[in-house]
Amino acid sequence: MKFFLGNASLTLNPKTKSTILTSIHLILVKPFSQSTSIPTKQERVRDHGFDNYMEVEKKIRKVVKFHSLILSQPNNTIAISLLDTLARRLGLGFKQHEPGAFLLKFPHVFEIYEHPVQRILYCRLTRKALEQIRHEHEAVLAQIPDAVTRLLKLIMMSNTGRIRLEHVRIARTEFGLPEDFEFSVVLKHPEFFRLIDAEETRDKYIEIVAKEPNLSVCAIERVREIEYRTKGIDAEDVRFSFVVNFPPGFKIGKYFRIAVWKWQRLPYWSPYEDISGYDLRSLEAQKRLEKRAVACIHELLSLTVEKKITLERIAHFRNVMNLPKKLKEFLLQHQGIFYISTRGNYGKLHTVFLREAYKKGEMVEPNDVYLARRRLAELVLMSPRKAKVDAELVNYRNGLDDEDDIE
C-alpha cells in the first residue's frame, strides 16, 4: 500500500497498514456516536423494597401449598406424622421434621392440636386463615366481569387472536381468574370466546370471536392522558412516553439521560395493532418493534391483579406477542419501567414488577383480590407472641362463660 505525501510516496507493510486504517476509522467516526442509545447490556440494580416484598412472598407460597394440602384432606385436617411424606410428594424442599417446624412459625394460619380420641397431633387452618380464603374466593368471583375483559385484552394482543389454554391456566392466579375459568369465564361467554383444538399440536386454545375496538386502549395511554391534563406536560413529550422511575443507586450519566429522552419520544405500534402487513426490515422499524415489546410487557403486567408476574410465565406468551428471545436482558435495559426480583425461590424464579404500580412496598391502586391476598401476608408476618396472647384471652373468656353457666 502507498500513501502519497506531496510528490513523495511511502510504501507500508501489511501490519503498519492495518494500524493506520484503524486510526483513520477512529478519527472519522464521531465520538459518542453510540452513547446516545440505551445500552443493550446492563447490570441489574437491586431495589430492596421489591426484594423484601418477595421475601414475604416466598413464605406465602409455601403457606398456600400447605393450605391446599390441608383442605384436600378429610375434615380439612392432617396428622403431623404425615407431613414429611406429603411435603416431599409436593416438592416443597423440606428435610425430615422441617414441615412441622415450619407450621409452628405461623400460629395465626395453622393450628396444632391433639386429637381427643387418637391422642396424636393434628393440624388445621385457623379461623382467621379460613376467613382470608373465603374473602379471596369472594373477591375473585365478584370481579369475573373484569376478568372477562382482562382475558379479552390479553388474547387481543396475540398475533393470531388465540392463546393456549394451558398457558392461561398456569398464569390463572396472576390474572385473577377463578379455578374453573374454562367454564365460568370462557364457555359462559360464547359471544367473546370459543375453545378450539389445534390440529397440528392437539392443544386447546382460547380464541376470541372478534376484536373489541373499545378495549384497544392501553393502560399507559390513560396514564399519559392524566399526565397531560393534570401536569400540563408538552404533548410531544408525553405522546409516546412511559413512566420511568429508576431504582435507588442506578447511575444515570449525561449520555444515558439523552438516550432515554430520545427513546421516550420514539413512536411505536400499539400492542393491539396488527403489524403483520408492515415491512419490519429497516432500522427504524426495528426500533419501533423493540419499543412495542416494552408496551406489550407493560400492558401484560397492567392486566394482572398484582401488577407482577414471573418472567417464566411471560415467556409463554413470547411467540404470540412477538417478544424478544432474551427477555431478561431486554427488561434490564428498562429498569426504570420494570423491576426483576430473583428473591422468593432461591434465585430460580424471576418476578417482574411494574414499578409505577407500587409505592413503598404497596400497590398504588389496590383492588379487592390484592387486598384479600395481602391479608394472608399480614397473618404470616404477625408475631407468634400475639397468637399466644389471643389464645389466653379466648381461654379466659371461655372460663368466664363456664362460671356463668354454673351460676
Quickly list DSSP for 184-203: IIIIT-TTTEEEEE-TTT--
243 and 107 assigned to the same domain: no
Give a yes or no: residue 403 inside a domain: no
Give the percent of the chain with pLDDT over 90: 56
247 and 353 assigned to the same domain: yes
Give a yes or no: residue 9 inside a domain: no
Closest CA to 139 of 187, 173, 190, 189: 173
Give a yes or no: residue 30 inside a domain: no
211 and 331 assigned to the same domain: yes
Q: Helices 83-90 and 48-71, interaxial angle, to 10°?
A: 120
pLDDT at 32 over 50: no
71 and 210 assigned to the same domain: no
In sequence order, which ranges of 29-97 are alpha helices (DSSP H)? 48-71, 83-90
Give a yes or no: residue 404 inside a domain: no
Question: Given 125, 150, 170, which residue is the final one in a domain?
Answer: 125
Rounded to 5 degrees, φ, ψ at 206 are -100, 125
Give a yes or no: residue 155 inside a domain: yes
148 and 242 assigned to the same domain: yes
Residues 6+ apart with CB under 8 A from 40: 329, 333
Counting the structural domains of the chain, the total is 2
Provide the grid cell at 248. Answer: 435507588
Give the pLDDT confidence of 144-158 residue by residue, as tens digits: 999 999 999 999 999
Grid cell 375434615 is found at 75
Q: How many residues does the chain have?
A: 407
Give a yes or no: residue 344 inside a domain: yes
CA dist 303 and 150 (Å) reads 6
Give a yes or no: residue 116 inside a domain: yes
213 and 351 assigned to the same domain: yes
121 and 140 assigned to the same domain: no
Give the pLDDT confidence of 288-316 residue by residue, as tens digits: 999 999 999 999 999 999 999 999 999 99
* End-to-end Cα distance, the chain: 117
224 and 173 assigned to the same domain: yes
Closest CA to 137 of 111, 171, 173, 109: 173
Q: What is the pLDDT of residue 143?
A: 95
229 and 331 assigned to the same domain: yes
Give the pLDDT confidence of 160-205 residue by residue, as tens digits: 999 999 999 999 999 999 999 999 999 999 999 999 988 777 789 9
Domain that holds residue 69: 48-125
119 and 162 assigned to the same domain: no
225 and 293 assigned to the same domain: yes
Give a yes or no: residue 306 inside a domain: yes
222 and 265 assigned to the same domain: yes
**pLDDT band, residue 25 (cuts 50/70/90):** very low
Q: What is the pLDDT of residue 345?
A: 65
User: For residue 114, what is the domain's CATH number?
Assistant: 3.30.420.610
